[in-house]
Structure 1
Amino acid sequence: MMSTGGLINRAAALLPGAETPPVTTPRGPAREAAERELSEPAYHENDPSLLDRALRELLTWLDELLRSASGVTPGGGFGLLTVIVLVVLVAALLWWRLGSPRRTATSTGTLFDDGPRSAADHRAAADAHAAAARWTEAVQERMRAVVRSLEERTLLDPRPGRTADEAAAEASVSLPDHAAELRAAARAFDDVTYGGRTADADTYARLRTLDLTLDRAKPLLTGPSA
């Protein structure tokens, strides 16, 4: 027979509003449910973008790098700042002295880019550019004068589309003593025309001297032996 106290406890458990035992959920399903809930877009509307996160990481890395560098640099942060300023000054000096990085010159264009003109015309144009200190244009015109003069002397066959390198190589056959100067002249023409370099007075003077020298040079006559 159930005691009076047991009957009272059983009746109390059946009354409305009586406390019920807590529901126990296994850890795995509970974690999955939480992850599904937190993956809802509403929880991530104010999250930083990918770019923001990348910038923060970069700034953090730079900050750590500067801190590490200042720790090993004599004078600490001031010493590091001095080193940075010196590096910038050296880079600026090199840029001013050497110019901007240049492409490797390749002779892919033709020597003459306009209608046929005589060697005298090209020389006059070269001298006019030189008088105005337009050394790049002066070098270009003087090289054209060299090649046109060789064509007028029949040491080169007039050929449209010829490059400076081709002209130098062909002229070296009949003027072998000047082969090195011809190659250097072609390289100077390519550098200022296709390589992005800027000519100077010395480059033009060498081209002018070569032009005058070749005008008086005697070619090596080649032909079938007797």
Structure 2
Amino acid sequence: MKFIFMVILLIFHWFAMKKIGEITSKKFNIKYFKKSVFLAPISIIFSLILIRTIGLSSQEAGFILGDVKEGFRSVCFIGLPLAIISGGLIFTIPKENLKEVKYGEKQVKWEFIYAWIFVGVVEEIIFRGFVQGTLDSMIDGHLFTFTSATIISSMVFVLIHIGNVLYKQETWKAFLSMIPTRLIAALVLGYSFQVSRSIIYSVIIHNLIDGLNMSALYFRKKAIRGKYEA
């Protein structure tokens, strides 16, 4: 019953933010990433309300310093290498396939602000603090080194990015092609939360991954445009 309640609250959060986003776009005529920056505090507040509603304590939701040693170990030895590798792989994507990804072209300032500062806080509170924290309080079990809660919350994290397709920031082809990398990233983020019991370190990793990927996309597309202009 608690799982169903969690899913209902998660869907409510998604629809509420979507509706607020649509109203904001029409009233103030601002686009996706600029809008995401301005809506970030609202999303965080909603997530905190969900955490309170589901009955999680601050500790269960990861609002603690946690195991500092394990946290920084996950950042330095798993998160940072993954961020560097994923950013580097951007430069191996064929030019024609880059057209499927709309990031790194317009509103670059707002893309960078959101990717380097806000995305980790916004998404980790909801997916690690709320979803994984709730699942941790409900289910046991492991698969290899990952808990069942880490695995399930990672799958939810991947599927929720269908919203990028609905907002026309990605095509279905791009979304499907990024499922493996997003799942790996989600497992790393979930594992960081799992071993540290704090969202601090998963926030750092998340910002590193998205920030480096966004930066790599921008500089790759800029280099391609420069060649065409030359």
Give the structure-2-normalised TM-score: 0.25
Give the structure-1-normalised TM-score: 0.25
